[in-house]
Amino acid sequence: MTTPRRLLLVNGPNLNLLGTREPGIYGSATLADVERITAEAAAAYGFEVRAVQSNHEGVLLDAIHDARADCAGIVINAGAYTHTSVALRDALTGVALPFAEVHISDVYAREEFRHHSYLTDVAAVHVVGEGVQGYATATRRLIRVITGQADG
């Protein structure tokens, strides 16, 4: 079976507010900018992107489950669910697709509760603190994992 040339881009709660939410932390780029940046990075490798954003955990879980049918991997910024959701972790490990965890801000330089992630130890790629350009970094690195071109 041929590996699909599609990625699922998942953005969790409050990421729909990008561009207006705490610009000192998250910058002025919007969710539409994030989706464009990710799609452009993927297209450079011949991949397409399907994007989903929700403030509701179950919607994100359903999208991850559906990705089994036609995606090769997942780029995810789970937002606050990063620090709270065992269900999200279980969905990601359950579908057995490689995934990249991305955070716009440097979560390790912020409040202590943001230092713990339920995803990091099972993610193939982890990108933190690069702003929205981190999505492009995460996408490129994930595609290299998927295509067997990752460096060590």
90 is in an annotated binding site: yes
Q: How many residues does the chain have?
A: 152
Give the whole-angstrom CA distance, residue 77 versus residue 12: 6
Give the whole-angstrom CA distance, residue 145 versus residue 150: 5
Q: 105-133 burial by CB neighbour count: b if 16+ within 10 A, else e?
A: bebeeeeeebeebbbeeebbbbbbebebe
* Structure-token pair, residue 83: 């620090």
64 is in an annotated binding site: no
83 is in an annotated binding site: yes
The residues carrying an active-site annotation are 26, 103
Q: Which residue has the tokens 């953005």?
A: 11
85 is in an annotated binding site: no
Nearest CA-CA partner of 35 in 64, 15, 65: 15
Binding site for substrate, residues?
77, 83, 90, 104-105, 114
